[in-house]
Amino acid sequence: MNDEMHIAAMTPVFPGSVDAAGRPATLGVLGGGQLGRMFVHAAQRLGYFTAVLEPDAQSPAGLVSHHHIQTDYDDPTGLAQLAELCQAITTEFENVPAQALQTLANTRPVAPGAAVVGIAQDRIEEKAHFVACADASGVTCAPYAVIQTPAQLQAVLDERTDLLPGILKTARLGYDGKGQVRVRTAEDLAAAWVELGGVACVLEKMLPLTAECSVLVGRGWDGQVVSFAPQRNVHVEGILAVTHAYEGNMPPALATRARDAAVAIAQQLGYVGVLCVEFFVVADGSAHGGLVVNEMAPRPHNSGHYTLDACDASQFDLQVHAMAGLPLPQPRQHSPAIMLNLLGEVWFDASGQRREPDWSAVLRLPGTHLHLYGKLDARAGRKMGHLTITGPDVAGVKAVARQAADLLGLPGLDVG
């Protein structure tokens, strides 16, 4: 069920090394999006060659990698080519076919492994894991029910009205608010299940939230674990909008609990790689201790992009170290930071006309770090890039973040 079955076969892949055939040390990634692009940059900075398997010819990661294998993720020929090129392989998104990871793991170290990615792909399995390790982690998930059949739906309607109001979520392929419907009544729930296609779902009780946060954990093949401090996140219509990463972004005791819980969840999985665990901070602290676990992502995460500019080792550095079997440095955050997610809407004015954001004014602000992902087609909801603001003190970072948000046409965001 975890990655540890491969530990004995894992020999560190050192940057700059060559194999017996004279081929350079090469790290591979399934997926060509922006997370893959930032992974490639981190690996190349250390001296590795990189290979990306991604069907899109213009993918952000494929455009900057040494090798771009342009096939579907489950294409046998493409997977064989990736395994031939690479000494270790990872993934940049959780919806890659788990069987593809298992195929690669037959001949190469793969981190994270197919079994744990499979858990993260299915909300039913994911929530069962959170419940199973609640004693070790000290937190559990919100009350929920599984709905896979009409009979289970009827049972919830008859017996679990305590879960309403709630959120009905598809068990698979939901992200950034997709595959989710808020329901307040039994009638809403029945209609929502039909709307979602009658597929396997979980109904999750809506809790009185005061905040959302996430924790990034890095775990090596040898069980070594390091982590970043929790970051507080603000979502708009289900998509991350702002990340607050600085001391005092949430109560210290709660931050410690979140960090300890994320480490415990990674340990219980026998996880290898970078794992992001997302939490809800809830108002009814007496019932939940103020914290419930929401979901996990078996990869670096949007909320951790600030680590590229505010820490001496980023989440992508840890991803490279973990998969290659290198020691994991405990990252140190040297600057308070706020990250603004840049969606396609930033490229359009109030009347819907395409425009270029005023990068000159934005980049004139102190401590701004712009990261665009190489995507040419701006669309509503599409992640085009992010802007991180760092500085010597939290007050100054918040002030610049407010200015940047106004310049980008993002007024009203919770930037402090």
294 is an annotated ligand-binding site residue = yes
Alpha helices by DSSP H, listed for 62-167, are 76-85, 98-105, 114-121, 123-132, 134-137, 150-159
319 is an annotated ligand-binding site residue = no
CB 339 within 8 A of CB 242: yes
247 is an annotated ligand-binding site residue = no
212 is an annotated ligand-binding site residue = yes
302 is an annotated ligand-binding site residue = no
180 is an annotated ligand-binding site residue = yes
Separation of CA 291 from chain center: 19
159 is an annotated ligand-binding site residue = no
Residue that the structure tokens 């493409």 belong to: 78
334 is an annotated ligand-binding site residue = no
CB 241 within 8 A of CB 176: no
Listed residue (9, 89, 11) closest to 320, CA to CA: 89
d(CA 256, CA 88): 33
**CA geometry: angle at 194 spanning 188 and 197, to 5°?**
140
d(CA 245, CA 310): 9
235 is an annotated ligand-binding site residue = yes
Give every CB contact of residue 298 below 8 A, 6+ residues apart in sequence: 91, 94, 112, 116, 117, 120, 271, 273, 275
For 71-83, give one letter per residue: b (16+ CB within 10 A) or e.
Answer: eebebeebbebbb
345 is an annotated ligand-binding site residue = no
Query: What is the DSSP code string of 111-133?
Result: SS-HHHHHHHH-HHHHHHHHHHT
123 is an annotated ligand-binding site residue = yes
What is the DSSP code (8-state) at residue 357? -
Within 10 A of 69 (CB to CB), how many other CB atoms are there? 22
Q: Could you tell me if residue 333 is left (phi over 0), alpha (psi between -120 and 50 degrees) or otherwise beta?
A: beta
355 is an annotated ligand-binding site residue = no
383 is an annotated ligand-binding site residue = no
70 is an annotated ligand-binding site residue = no
Strand order in the sheet with 88-91: 67-69, 49-53, 26-30, 88-91
233 is an annotated ligand-binding site residue = no
Segments of 111-270 assigned E as strands: 144-147, 166-170, 180-183, 201-205, 209-219, 225-227, 231-236, 239-245
Tokens of 291: 């914290």
Which residues participate in the annotated binding site? Answer: 123, 169, 174-180, 204-207, 212, 235, 294-295
Q: Which residues are annotated as a binding site for ATP?
A: 123, 169, 174-180, 204-207, 212, 235, 294-295
